[in-house]
Structure 1
């Protein structure tokens, strides 16, 4: 969670801007939908991380095969 906050701060968003965004989200989706939205975002991030791990594994496999062919 802290990494996300640092990322937002890098984009020049301060406390007031984050509060405004939170209020807009609350008005658009209502209090009851926010946990569902956050759960969906968490699943999306988890899926993305798993996909990146698979890409890294395939990349390592390819690099190992290239090294074996060079020997």
Structure 2
């Protein structure tokens, strides 16, 4: 029988959405991808964490225009 190698402790916000997202993460993604999503959401906001990366797009446009 395989014993777990790691323990993940999650501090949930008062809203139930994080609890539901944790269940969805276990079903659809690896925990690493789930944690990465939370970190990106906290840093850049919900829209940018889920694919609308305006900050990164702007940086790419600026670097292309300098050439």
Instruction: Answer whether TM exceeds 0.5 for this pair.
Output: no
Bigger Rg, which one? 1
Which has the larger helix fraction? 1
